[in-house]
């Protein structure tokens, strides 16, 4: 399917690995120029080299910590004319209410929650002046399937779901769209590392980690690429009537019982 995105520019946070990198590759395959942001310069350079070896697009990188709002302001000043913003940075730690101390909770939310809000605040305003633009917030299925053992994450994702719906609901009045994606268990490097640890603990062999994925829908985790292509689709004019809503991609897990 031709998405008619060629020549547009997308800024993606958390872009050096996992879902962020997969979204970058999906957009690059459609001819979209990229601005990749993460905290690790070496990983960004590796991502840029990989993308530019496959697609004829312009790729710029910034190793910025977006939990610092001054870096958000800097990005908006440097790239005020982007067409697509993909918010994807941040991983909130697991644990129940007593396990996650206030400082850890605030630190995680500064990047994943307030980072998204600040990025939307700055880039929405820039997009509004041109009456065009799409924001895609990559959230997490924990925002709709509440889990007390991931309380900081489930609360943060739920807040960002409400934020995305509230902002996106009237974005069409400004010529914009704001949508969200709730990925379920996705086989990123981070998840594979977690599952290898569990396999070592439970089975005595980290290389048997895939066996622990069998309770998941379809017997596997999703792939970053399956999320990346949805980012590209939602960012395209083919999805021009989609705003103020959240797309869940989890193989149906949100509507099933406990899996692990």
Say what percent of the chain tops pLDDT 70: 98
- Axis crossing angle, helix 224-235 with helix 18-28, rounded to the nearest 10: 50
Q: What pLDDT is stored for residue 75 in this prediction?
A: 97
The pLDDT tens digits of the residues spanning 5-54 come to 999 999 999 999 999 999 999 999 999 999 999 999 999 999 999 999 99
* 71-75, 177-181, 217-221, 248-252: the lowest-pLDDT one: 217-221
Q: What pLDDT is stored for residue 35 in this prediction?
A: 98
Question: What is the H or E stretch that residue 78 is in?
Answer: helix 69-78
User: What DSSP designation does 140 have?
Assistant: -
Q: What pLDDT is stored for residue 87 in this prediction?
A: 98
- What number is the average pLDDT over the span 236-247? 98
Cite the beta strand spans of 68-141 per DSSP E: 84-87, 134-138
- Total of domains in the chain: 1
Q: What pLDDT is stored for residue 258 in this prediction?
A: 60
Q: What is the largest CA-CA distance in the chain?
A: 58
Q: Please spell the DSSP secondary structure of 196-208, one letter per residue.
A: HHHHHHHHS-GGG
Residue 45 lies in a domain: yes
Query: Would residue 203 be called left, alpha or beta, if left means φ above 0 and alpha means ψ between -120 and 50 degrees?
Result: alpha
d(CA 73, CA 41): 19
- What number is the average pLDDT over the span 117-144? 97
Residue 123 lies in a domain: yes
- How far from the centroid of its chain's Cα atoms is residue 13's Cα? 8
The pLDDT tens digits of the residues spanning 150-207 come to 899 999 999 999 999 999 999 999 999 999 999 998 988 877 877 887 788 888 998 9
What's the domain range around 102? Answer: 9-186+222-247
Size of the chain in residues: 260
Residue 205 lies in a domain: no
Residue 253 lies in a domain: no
Cα 223 to Cα 37, 94, 249: the distances in Å are 21, 21, 10
Q: What pLDDT is stored for residue 196 in this prediction?
A: 85
Cβ–Cβ < 8 Å for 185, 222: yes
Cβ–Cβ < 8 Å for 221, 185: yes
Looking from the CA of 86 toward its CB, the CA atoms found within 13 Å total: 36
User: What DSSP designation does 66 have?
Assistant: T
Residue 212 lies in a domain: no
> pTM for the full model?
0.93
Q: What pLDDT is stored for residue 34 in this prediction?
A: 98
Cβ–Cβ < 8 Å for 80, 72: no
pLDDT of residue 212 exceeding 90, the answer is no
- How far from the centroid of its chain's Cα atoms is residue 98's Cα? 27
The band of 255, judged by pLDDT with boundaries at 50, 70 and 90, is confident
- How far from the centroid of its chain's Cα atoms is residue 167's Cα? 17
Per the model's pLDDT, the better-predicted residue between 254 and 112 turns out to be 112
Residue 258 lies in a domain: no
Residue 3 lies in a domain: no
| CATH number of the domain that residue 127 is part of | 3.40.50.720
d(CA 158, CA 141): 9
- What number is the average pLDDT over the span 245-258? 86
pLDDT of residue 257 exceeding 70, the answer is no
Residue 4 lies in a domain: no
């Amino acid at each position: 399917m031709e998405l008619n995105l060629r020549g547009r520019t997308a800024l993606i946070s958390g872009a050096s690995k996992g879902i962020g990198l997969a979204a970058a590759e999906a957009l690059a395959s459609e001819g979209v120029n990229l601005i990749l942001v993460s905290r690790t310069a070496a990983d960004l350079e590796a991502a840029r080299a990989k993308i530019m070896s496959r697609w004829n697009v312009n790729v710029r990188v910034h190793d910025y910590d977006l939990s610092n709002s001054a870096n958000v302001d800097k990005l908006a000043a440097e790239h005020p004319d982007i067409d697509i913003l993909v918010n994807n940075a941040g991983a909130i730690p697991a644990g129940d209410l007593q396990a996650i101390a206030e400082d850890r909770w605030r630190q995680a939310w500064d990047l994943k929650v307030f980072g998204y809000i600040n990025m939307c605040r700055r880039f929405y305003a820039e997009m509004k002046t041109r009456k065009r633009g799409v924001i895609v917030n990559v959230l997490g299925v924990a925002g709709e399937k509440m889990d007390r053992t991931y309380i900081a994450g489930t609360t943060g994702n739920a807040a960002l779901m409400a934020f995305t719906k509230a902002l996106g609901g009237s974005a069409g009045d400004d010529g914009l769209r704001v949508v969200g994606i709730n990925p379920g268990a996705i086989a990123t490097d981070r998840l594979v590392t977690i599952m290898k640890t569990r396999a070592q603990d439970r089975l005595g062999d980290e290389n048997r980690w895939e066996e622990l994925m069998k309770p998941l829908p379809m017997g596997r985790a999703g792939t970053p690429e399956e999320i990346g292509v949805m980012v590209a689709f939602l960012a395209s004019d083919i999805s021009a009537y989609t705003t103020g809503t959240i797309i869940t991609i989890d193989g149906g897990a949100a509507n099933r019982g406990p899996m692990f």
